[in-house]
């Protein structure tokens, strides 16, 4: 390989590991890649960094995004309407202005909470993507090195075969 390719590999490895490496030998770089883990458990990292607000937003999103919530809330709305249509003393008569106000307030609070949770999920997906890229890059560099070593082995085998054929004749 030329000096340019080695320099490029070294730069890629530096970028990959986010640290300064002053190794002259390409094999040392490959060994460093093999020995050091690049993959990160994004879920574990996220749980460690999550604040109580993040956890609360995730719990609310999980509850609000469930079929149980939809069914219970639908039953609540239907019950509210039935009670206010058929009760003698109506708290919220038809067109259910109080119910509309309640639903608007709930929606106004739910939307930002769900967006906070979704933004955190988006950041986790981005970290997973970067993690996959680093892992793929590491695998590519290691496979390239193995390919080079395999080519060298094949070349050496051919040389040995030529030398042994010459001695047998």
Instruction: Look up the domain containing 96 and give its range.
Output: 37-168
pLDDT for the residue 69: 93
pLDDT for the residue 3: 44
Cβ(12)–Cβ(141) below 8 Å: yes
59 lies in some domain: yes
Count structural domains, the chain: 1
Kindly report, residue by residue over 83-108, the tens digit of the pLDDT: 888 887 778 888 889 999 999 999 99
Kindly report, residue by residue over 115-164, the tens digit of the pLDDT: 999 998 998 998 888 888 878 878 888 888 889 899 999 999 999 998 88
5 lies in some domain: no
Cβ(38)–Cβ(135) below 8 Å: yes
pLDDT for the residue 97: 92
30 lies in some domain: no
160 lies in some domain: yes
Which DSSP helix (H) or strand (E) runs through 20? Answer: none
Residue 92 is given by DSSP the state S
17 lies in some domain: no
């Amino acid at each position: 390989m030329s000096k340019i390719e080695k320099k490029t590999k070294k730069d890629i490895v530096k970028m990959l590991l986010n640290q300064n490496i002053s190794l002259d030998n390409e094999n040392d770089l490959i060994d460093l890649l093999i020995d050091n883990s690049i993959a990160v458990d994004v879920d574990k990292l996220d749980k460690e960094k999550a604040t109580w607000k993040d956890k609360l937003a995730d719990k609310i999103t999980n509850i609000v995004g469930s079929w149980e919530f939809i069914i219970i809330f639908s039953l609540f709305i239907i019950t509210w309407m039935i009670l206010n249509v058929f009760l003698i003393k109506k708290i919220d008569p038809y067109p259910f202005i109080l119910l509309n106000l309640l639903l608007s307030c709930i929606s106004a609070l739910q939307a930002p909470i769900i967006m906070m949770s979704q933004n955190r999920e988006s950041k986790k997906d981005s970290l997973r993507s970067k993690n996959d890229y680093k892992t793929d890059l590491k695998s590519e560099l290691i496979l390239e090195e193995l390919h080079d070593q395999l080519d060298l082995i094949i070349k050496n085998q051919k040389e040995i075969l030529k030398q042994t054929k010459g001695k047998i004749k």
